[in-house]
Amino acid sequence: MDPLASPRRPLRFGRSLKPFRRPWLWAMLWCGGVAAVVVLSMTPPPELGALPRNIDKLEHALAYGALAAGAVQLYPRWRSLLSVGVALVLMGIGLEYAQGALTTTRMMDRADALANTLGVTLGLATQLTPWRDLLLRFDGGADRDSPR
C-alpha cells in the first residue's frame, strides 16, 4: 500500500507530555524560556551599576530552577524529567564554556555552572509537591491526576 495514499492521521503532539488541552502552547512557551536563557547567556551583560557580590549566582539558580520547574509542569514521569534535568545541566555547562570561548564580554565561571545545577535540582524537586500539576489544572486538561 502506498503510504502517500493512506488517510491522514491526526498529529499527536508530545506523547510524553501531560494531557493538556493546548500542549503546543505550553511546550513552545517552555522552549521560548530555554531560548531566552541561551540568548541572555551569550549577549553582553547590561550595565546595572553596583550589585551585591555573587548576585549572578542567584540569577543563574533562579533561571535554571524556573526551566526545571516548568518541565515538571509539562512532563509527568521521572524518566522524562531526569532527561530534561541532565539536558539543562549540560546546556548550562556548555553555555559557560561558550561564554569563555566565543565572547569577549563574558567569561566562563564554574560557580555559575554549579548554580545552574543547583537551580535544576530545586526546580525538579517541585515534582514532589502538590504544585506539580498546577499548569494542567489551569489549562483544563485531564481531570485525573497525572502519573508520578
Answer whether residue 93 is part of any domain: yes
Domain range for 80 is 54-139
Answer whether residue 24 is part of any domain: no
Interval 32-72: pLDDT, tens: 999 999 999 999 988 877 878 888 999 999 999 999 999 99
Answer whether residue 6 is part of any domain: no
Q: What is the pTM of this model?
A: 0.83
CA distances from 34 to 55, 75, 88, 135 (A): 21, 16, 9, 18
Interval 129-142: pLDDT, tens: 999 999 999 998 76
Evaluate whether 111 touches 56 at the Cβ level (below 8 Å).
Answer: no
Answer whether residue 148 is part of any domain: no
Answer whether residue 20 is part of any domain: no
Q: d(Cα 57, Cα 64) in Å, to the nearest integer?
A: 11
Evaluate whether 81 touches 132 at the Cβ level (below 8 Å).
Answer: no
Structural domain count, the chain: 1
Answer whether residue 33 is part of any domain: no
Answer whether residue 109 is part of any domain: yes
Answer whether residue 35 is part of any domain: no
